Amino acid sequence: MILTLGERGAFVSTDEIEEMIAAPSVRAIDATAAGDVFNGVLAVMIAERKSLIESVRWANAAAALSVTKMGAQPSIPTREAVEKFFRM
């Protein structure tokens, strides 16, 4: 189970893992599409065989980045933007 908690991050629970993954701190402007961004990045990371925890960290970073812009489509970050933001 993955429970997204907005600015608090996401809680991951499996048979082996129970972990709270913090979200990066950002100045939120619009949360439109943040959940879609989270789910899309989570799916890509899992498809690329990243661990569940690493996948959630990337998804959190992408969703946090998305809330810094207005609107749905304009707020969806590129992979390069997420990689840069994730490394900060």
Separation CA 28–CA 25 (nearest Å): 9
Instruction: Identify the three-state secondary structure at position 55.
Output: helix
**30 classed as catalytic:** no
Which residue among the candidates 7, 11, 30, 36 is catalytic per the annotation?
36
Catalytic residues: 36
